């Protein structure tokens, strides 16, 4: 195992970032801190893409092709409930997805490769803002990251709680799902609860729509494909003796293949409009695409698996783990460039943490410092293998 020797420094960077979490496109302190570490090590940086983004560049001893390595920097609007000394000092903000760890591992790799640049080519280290819903990855692509910093391939990595430390997972194709927000408005005719015959009850129509939508995944999506329709917000009514005029529903649609998303949308519209009409009401459906699916290119997934195997041992690289229905804006980078995105184990979830202690987006989550060096070593190994 070729682990790099920056462990102590990486822990202190990680704790500083953890203590100062910032939300999407507001990662000013975070970006300044990362830039200061890079400059301290004489690494060339470019700032300003997607507001707070940084692209740091390290050249090898010989010329060759260029690749990109990406980490995300943003935190979540969550009140941290951890009590350790580096807990968040920003009320209501928390690094609950481990992006503090991702930025730190990439920093560690950049500092190490600057000192040990015995490779041929160029590495662009991409510190990206706004992964958590802000589509910072899309903004970086739209602002021309790959025109300014051409990359033959781009690679990403996310920590994965529940997978043991010391392990990686590499998918040959789909890793994370596409994600759309669904909004349904059911319009009826409100009135007295005692006189339903003189009203059109949007709640009864909406309730049937909720139930009928459940059949789309089970009856219209091919069994070998995957999709999720979750309705997560239901709003209607204000008094026990009043039938309201409207019912509002919101939720999430997830899938991997674009054609599955198109068909799910077509069926949802039919169900929503058809049931409303049958009940004497009207209803509209709006879908808003958020992130596309994160799909690896097999040849790059193979390079990632080889590098992960060299630092962790081949037995510690999972090649058949199911993809997640969660989503990730690294997809925008993968739609603009070839590449792959892998998971690094953040450690098993301890049984004595019934609230989900180390699960992503949990108030008790923390990135595992013990994997910093392994993650940074993986980046170094990947660069060494590809830019020989
Ligand atoms: Zn997250
Ligand atoms: Zn994340």
Distance between CA atoms of residues 52 and 37, nearest Å:
15
For the cut 50, the answer to whether the pLDDT of residue 354 exceeds it is no
Backbone φ and ψ for 141, nearest 5 degrees, come out as -65, -45
Over pLDDT 70: what percentage of the chain? 97
For the cut 60, the answer to whether the pLDDT of residue 381 exceeds it is yes
DSSP H helix total and E strand total for the chain: 10, 16
The arithmetic mean of pLDDT across residues 57-64, rounded, is: 98
pLDDT per residue as tens digits for the range 197-210: 999 999 999 999 99
Mean of per-residue pLDDT scores for the chain:
96
pLDDT per residue as tens digits for the range 297-334: 999 999 999 999 999 999 999 999 999 999 999 999 99
Cα of 327 from ligand 2 centre, angstroms = 9
Asked if 296 contacts 339 with a C-beta cutoff of 8 angstroms, the reply is: yes
| CA 386 and chain centroid, separation | 25
CATH of domain 7-175+293-386: 3.40.630.10
Long-range contacts of 263-267 (CB under 8 A, 24+ apart): 263/220, 263/221, 264/216, 264/217, 264/220, 264/221, 264/227, 264/229, 265/180, 267/216, 267/220
The arithmetic mean of pLDDT across residues 164-180, rounded, is: 97
Beta strands in 22-132 (DSSP E): 44-47, 54-59, 62-72, 120-128
- Nearest 5°: CA angle at 339, between 334 and 344? 100
pLDDT per residue as tens digits for the range 246-301: 999 999 999 999 999 999 999 999 999 999 999 999 999 999 999 999 999 999 99
Indicate the pLDDT class of residue 1, thresholds 50, 70 and 90.
Answer: very low
pLDDT, residue 358, reads 74
From the CA of 158, the nearest ligand is 2
Rg (CA), the chain: 24
From the CA of 132, the nearest ligand is 1
Cα of 131 from ligand 1 centre, angstroms = 7
pLDDT, residue 5, reads 76
DSSP 3-state of 104: helix
Cα of 3 from ligand 1 centre, angstroms = 27
The arithmetic mean of pLDDT across residues 129-146, rounded, is: 97
The arithmetic mean of pLDDT across residues 203-221, rounded, is: 97
Cα of 318 from ligand 1 centre, angstroms = 22
pLDDT, residue 29, reads 98
- Nearest 5°: CA angle at 345, between 367 and 3? 85
From the CA of 72, the nearest ligand is 2
Cα of 367 from ligand 2 centre, angstroms = 11
Cα of 358 from ligand 2 centre, angstroms = 13
Which positions ≥6 away from 351 have C-beta within 8 Å? none
Cα of 309 from ligand 2 centre, angstroms = 23
- Nearest 5°: CA angle at 237, between 232 and 240? 125
For the cut 90, the answer to whether the pLDDT of residue 30 exceeds it is yes
pTM for this predicted structure: 0.93
For the cut 70, the answer to whether the pLDDT of residue 37 exceeds it is yes
Enumerate residues with CB within 5 Å of ligand 2 (an ion).
97
Domain ranges of the chain: 7-175+293-386, 178-291
* Domain 178-291: CATH class, spelled out: alpha beta
pLDDT, residue 3, reads 62
Cα of 67 from ligand 1 centre, angstroms = 25
Cα of 97 from ligand 2 centre, angstroms = 4
Backbone φ and ψ for 292, nearest 5 degrees, come out as -70, 175
pLDDT, residue 348, reads 82
Which positions ≥6 away from 95 have C-beta within 8 Å? 17, 18, 21, 75, 76, 88, 367
From the CA of 360, the nearest ligand is 1
Cα of 342 from ligand 2 centre, angstroms = 12
For the cut 60, the answer to whether the pLDDT of residue 356 exceeds it is no
Cα of 81 from ligand 2 centre, angstroms = 19
pLDDT, residue 2, reads 53
Cα of 346 from ligand 2 centre, angstroms = 12
In terms of residues, how long is the chain? 388
Cα of 139 from ligand 1 centre, angstroms = 18
Asked if 320 contacts 358 with a C-beta cutoff of 8 angstroms, the reply is: no
Cα of 152 from ligand 2 centre, angstroms = 24
One-character DSSP codes across 239-291? -TTEE-SEEEEEEEEEESSHHHHHHHHHHHHHHHHHHHHHTT-EEEEEEEEEE
Cα of 133 from ligand 1 centre, angstroms = 9
Cα of 74 from ligand 2 centre, angstroms = 8
Cα of 298 from ligand 2 centre, angstroms = 23
């Amino acid at each position: 195992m070729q682990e790099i020797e920056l462990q102590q420094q990486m822990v202190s960077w990680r704790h500083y970032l953890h203590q100062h979490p910032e939300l999407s496109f507001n990662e000013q302190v975070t970006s300044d801190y990362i830039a200061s570490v890079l400059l301290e090590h004489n690494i060339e940086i470019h700032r300003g893409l997607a507001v707070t983004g940084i692209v740091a560049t390290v050249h090898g001893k010989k010329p060759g092709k260029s690749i990109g390595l990406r980490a995300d920097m943003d935190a979540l609007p969550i009140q941290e409930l951890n009590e350790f000394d580096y807990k968040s000092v920003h009320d209501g903000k928390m690094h609950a997805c481990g992006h503090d760890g991702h930025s730190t591992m990439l920093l560690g790799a950049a500092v190490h490769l600057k000192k040990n640049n015995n490779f041929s080519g160029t590495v662009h280290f991409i510190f990206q803002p706004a992964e958590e819903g802000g589509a910072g990855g899309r903004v970086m692509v739209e602002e021309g990251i790959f025109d300014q910093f051409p990359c033959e391939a781009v690679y990403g990595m996310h920590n994965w709680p529940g997978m043991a430390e010391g392990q990686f997972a590499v998918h040959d194709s789909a890793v994370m799902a596409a994600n759309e927000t669904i909004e349904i408005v059911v319009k009826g005719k409100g009135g007295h609860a005692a006189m339903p015959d003189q009203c059109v009850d949007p709640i009864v129509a909406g309730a049937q729509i909720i139930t009928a939508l459940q059949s789309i995944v089970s009856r219209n999506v091919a069994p070998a494909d995957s999709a999720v329709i979750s309705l997560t917000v239901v709003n209607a009514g204000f008094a026990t003796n009043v039938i309201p005029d409207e019912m509002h529903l919101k939720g999430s649609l997830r899938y991997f293949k674009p054609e599955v998303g198109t068909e799910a949308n077509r069926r949802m519209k039919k169900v929503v409009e058809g049931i409303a009409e049958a009940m004497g009401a009207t209803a509209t459906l709006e879908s808003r695409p958020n992130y596309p699916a994160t799909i690896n290119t097999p040849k790059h997934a193979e390079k990632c698996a080889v590098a992960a195997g060299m630092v962790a041992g081949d037995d510690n690289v999972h090649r058949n783990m199911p993809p997640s229905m969660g989503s990730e804006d690294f997809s925008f980078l993968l739609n603009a460039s070839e590449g792959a995105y892998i998971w690094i184990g953040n450690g098993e979830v301890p049984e004595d943490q019934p609230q989900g202690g180390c699960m992503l987006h949990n108030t008790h989550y923390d990135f595992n410092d013990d994997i910093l060096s392994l993650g940074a070593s993986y980046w170094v190994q990947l660069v060494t293998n590809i830019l020989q």
